[in-house]
Chain A
């Protein structure tokens, strides 16, 4: 079995905002296209133009319709799912060959394809369903946090972030050091009540999810309406139009209009 490195202060990970994820799949396909030519290359596709197209993805987005307590309306939540780079990952300790490992330097959990024997113990150990076995390659694949992008000196500094984060149009994905309480991602987590998935499992995921913000619909907005004084709305509108004019014309100006055709009826 594989041992974990001593806890490091640097904990790279993602913060995913469930309030703004619209389920557009930009992160999903951006991940696939980078990683099918990157560290995890290739990410196999099976029967891509046939009756049962399937393949390996390191990041998937699922949509769930949920009904919160006390709400009439349901809500659709889009839930991106990928490796959470746990602090104490069972997928690593279960690995018989050391192929699955957690980097001492930044906490990224990786699979070494050269020593992976494809036994799948790690995918059974992961409660988050984050690992995908590549049938064609015979090895396990998983999110690398784009380890081949985030330090890549051939990329411009602004581009040194995971492909999914760079792609996300709504800004629902954030990357940074969750081990540093002063980092923007840690502050975002603090501000928005970011939470762990399945904390009771004890694997201490580094990635955090930000919950949907409270809705502001009929259920929690006071049911205001515009005032409705007695009398004709039409007369009030007429009076309003007159006030508009007199305010502009100034009090001293007499109204010279010949209203011979004044409002009929």
Chain B
């Protein structure tokens, strides 16, 4: 039989364009194959620094995202009641005029009555600046309910953090600890890294209650109990300190371990660093036996000891205090094993393995470098132990201190920005913490006036809080108040509740972008829906009078807005992935990238960023208008990307600047810049020379260069803050010291949680509800092929995962009389859901879990109302209260970390029982959302 003739070189495309993916926050480079203007195929871009040619399950399904029937097609204005889905299609001019009218009323009277919150967007450089120009402090993106604990703990400790702030040295690491769920942060870079580690024979240890995803291929899985990672890590520190397996040189030179802390119990300076008149912290120099400024090149600082300064003050080194804490028997493996659910022998063995790799297998690269004090180092030496953590650490009320404990472990091993350790990605390191303070104090919010600074920043003492003279919050979400003093990413999860309760005050307009706050992004969905539709009996108007929402898709949130501004898909827009925003840099150097429109929208939609600039011009915001009142960026977002400057020569994109396009980092705007990016595959990457690739927190050459690039204000070393003095300033305030002190009711909470040395406390929900009544933990994991709520509208991805189950340990289920496939009720102190159980062994026995954001509300996302996502899928969100149970005095704090305001999603405690009714439908079921007009 003859074979058919085959064309093995078909050309099924007529054009290939590069751009940047948007199926998650990795932002991989992609190549889009087009035929007659239709998207045919999307693959990873081999030349791109982030993904180097690979792509993930979501990215390769981008076509179905782009052509989703859930796409919105025209601006809408609500004509029925909120939630009814009754909208009228309007023209863009009417939509923009309406928005301008609503927003200008607010800006003319009291700009803080606008709450402007964005979701997982990647243009916070623009949106934050817009909020500043508008003059409202009520701005944030989604970081407060994502991972601010991780970001803040890292930034306050070593001027970097996990995820887009840094990454393990995949090339040299020999021992890798992965804490908690990480499958969506980061996606391809971690997968690629794990592949490299496994190929090299490096050991991968996963600490996660659930053994799925990346944990599945770990050499060792430690099925820890949720919320106890801090104890596990502290016990590792205990073991290492007990055996003196710590990097003394690193601690002495690059950390505040030797800095002298004043011991003056009851005094206003107790626990602060002893400083020179010029403000430099002191160390005790071993040569002279006298205190010297910490950065003196000649000082040989003592790491331990208590001393008396010449002026009579008693001081102790930071490290002594740290050692006293962690050498205590409270931190011994035997003392934590029961709470963690990890055998003491395992903890001891992991500590021994860490010590062996760190101190017997050090990596030496033939790269000479010079440190901040001018000391020349012939080689670049590192301890090849690295770590990564994300939401599993972050999403607990003890997450900030737990993450600080983790950084303490990294630092005593001397593994930050060294070969084989954890490496910064530029623009990090930044000063610890970065110097920018939040604006929005009383008197800084004025009609028709921009804020004097950005709404988000880093407080270093109570003086920086956004509170009034009586200690009341100034922001709608209570960020930067005594409720959450270091809320560096805001607290979006509190906005709707607080606005509905007018606590601290009511707002006039809620303006949101790309965040599903009536569904999977909200804690307590049932009450959130109530708040969104609640009316003021006096006026008959909604308590949140106006809601403007922009999204590309018919998410659950659309039905609860009054004015819908339909966004484009990611293939129809300009974007910049900027170093001023959430960077995509590599450890080897800074990178940024753009999206270019590879297809034209076939609907009457506009990119949100374009709309925001248009609104800014219509409102006359100073940065967005010229003196004659005309728009500053008539060419829209592309115009802004190229021509906006934050400081002379510094703009959204660092590459191809200057009139000839040859300047990097700093240079005049280049009108041809976007074309340069397109010619270069839509990205720019600057590889640092070898001597600037490590020890960058103290690397003289790097810090000089980073100053030129605008990453740091001046080339000062970034000394790791093991002892966090800003926290102590809050504790002193709680003891009544200083100008700004907390009201009596807040004092104990501040005193107890603002410990300058990392520590552990049980998650709040566990402390406040009965463990006997709610004996189990319930958490979510992230499926690698889904990103938040976007995935399950995707025709291909929903075939892979169209519904979720409640997974639990086989043995525990057996004790509870629950069989595989049974429908069960899951009850928290706040609510109850019904879900279908699946049994497995690779899960901590006290933990039940499910995939995040698979459950959909019937009628949303262009799916048929009987879609499995709606009928069998479910959310844990309904069980999670955004408020903690009442404390003495009746006040209810938010269900958040007391330091940063991070939403404590994973503190949830539940009881699981076989459901009385076994009909195969999840509960609760909400009324089916009315179908919106479909795009063609």
Contacts and interface: CB of A to CB of B under 8 A. Distances in A.
A260 interface: yes
A226 B245 CA distance: 9
Contacts of B307: 257, 259-262
Contacts of A236: 242, 244
Contacts of B41: 33-34, 37
Contact of A76 (B35, B216, B249, B305): B216
A114 B6 CA distance: 12
B304 A228 contact: no
A224 interface: yes
Contacts of B840: 65, 74
A39 B308 CA distance: 81
Contacts of A110: 6
B348 A226 contact: yes
Report which residue of A33, A253, A261, A262 has the largest number of chain B beta carbons within 10 angstroms of its beta carbon: A33
A150 B10 CA distance: 11
A49 B70 CA distance: 10
A53 B284 contact: no
A241 B283 CA distance: 14
Contact of A53 (B8, B239, B349, B795): B795
Contacts of A262: 305-307
Contact of B242 (A22, A216, A233): A233
A115 B219 CA distance: 49
Contacts, number: 300
A241 B192 CA distance: 40
Given A3-B1, A225-B351, A226-B239, A255 B796 contact: no
Report which residue of A2, A32, A78, A150 has the largest number of chain B beta carbons within 10 angstroms of its beta carbon: A32
B355 A226 contact: yes
Nearest to B203: A216
B928 interface: no
A51 B349 contact: no
Nearest to B249: A244
B690 interface: no
Nearest to B8: A151
Given A21-B217, A76-B211, A147-B6, A249 B286 contact: yes
Given A38-B12, A73-B842, A45 B304 contact: no
Given A45-B799, A241-B303, A170 B191 contact: yes
Interface in B808-843: 840-842
Interface string B51-71: 101111111110100000100
Contacts of A112: 4
Contacts of B12: 37-38
B353 A224 contact: yes
A63 B807 CA distance: 14
B246 to A, nearest CB: 8
Interface in B424-466: none
B199 A223 contact: no
A33 B61 contact: yes
Interface in A20-41: 20-26, 28-30, 32-34, 37-39
B642 interface: no
A170 B239 contact: no
A128 interface: no
B800 A25 contact: yes
B885 to A, nearest CB: 36
A197 interface: no
A48 interface: yes
B interface SS class? mixed
A49 B862 CA distance: 7
Contact of B327 (A50, A51, A218, A233): A233
B775 interface: no
Interface size class of B (residues with CB under 8 A): 35 or more
A169 B195 contact: yes
Nearest to A101: B3
Interface string A204-220: 00000000110111100
Interface stretch (B160-168, B517-525, B542-550, B864-872): B864-872
Contacts of A234: 323-324, 327
B212 interface: yes
A245 B57 CA distance: 54
Contacts of A256: 287-289
Nearest to B303: A241
A236 B327 CA distance: 11
A153 interface: yes
B735 interface: no
A217 B219 contact: yes
A238 interface: yes
B108 to A, nearest CB: 45
A125 interface: no
Contact of A51 (B319, B345, B864): B864
A103 B3 CA distance: 7
Contact of B1 (A50, A101, A257): A101
A94 to B, nearest CB: 14
B591 interface: no
A98 B54 contact: no
B411 interface: no
B504 interface: no
Interface string A107-132: 00010101100000000000000000
A48 B327 CA distance: 59
A169 B216 contact: no
B43 A20 contact: no
B198 A19 contact: yes
A73 B222 CA distance: 10
B863 interface: yes
Nearest to B221: A73
Contacts of B795: 45, 48-49, 53, 55
Interface stretch (A7-15, A135-143, A160-168, A179-187): A160-168
Nearest to B62: A33
Nearest to B197: A20
Contacts of B248: 240-241, 244
B841 A264 contact: no
Interface in A47-73: 48-55, 57, 63, 65, 67, 73
Contacts of A115: 4
A24 B784 contact: yes
A32 B199 CA distance: 28
A44 to B, nearest CB: 11
B57 A26 contact: yes
Given A45-B799, A74-B841, A226-B243, A154 B11 contact: yes
B790 interface: no
Contacts of A200: none
B490 interface: no
A33 B56 contact: no
B1 A152 contact: no
Interface string A83-116: 0000000000000001001011000001010110
Contacts of B240: 226
Contacts of A63: 212, 216
Given A49-B864, A169-B191, A215 B219 contact: yes
Nearest to A2: B1
Contacts of B862: 49
A237 interface: yes
B316 to A, nearest CB: 8
Contacts of B349: 218, 221, 223-225
6 contacts: A2-B1, A101-B3, A101-B4, A154-B11, A169-B51, A257-B289
Given A233-B242, A259-B305, 10 more contacts: A24-B187, A37-B41, A53-B802, A158-B46, A169-B54, A223-B345, A226-B245, A241-B302, A241-B319, A257-B289
| Pairs A-B, 7 closest by C-beta atoms | A25-B57, A257-B289, A48-B795, A170-B195, A169-B191, A226-B243, A217-B220
Interface of A: 2-3, 5, 19-26, 28-30, 32-34, 37-39, 45, 48-55, 57, 63, 65, 67, 73-78, 98, 101, 103-104, 110, 112, 114-115, 147-148, 150-154, 158-159, 163, 166-172, 212-213, 215-218, 221, 223-228, 233-234, 236-238, 240-241, 244-245, 248-249, 253, 255-264
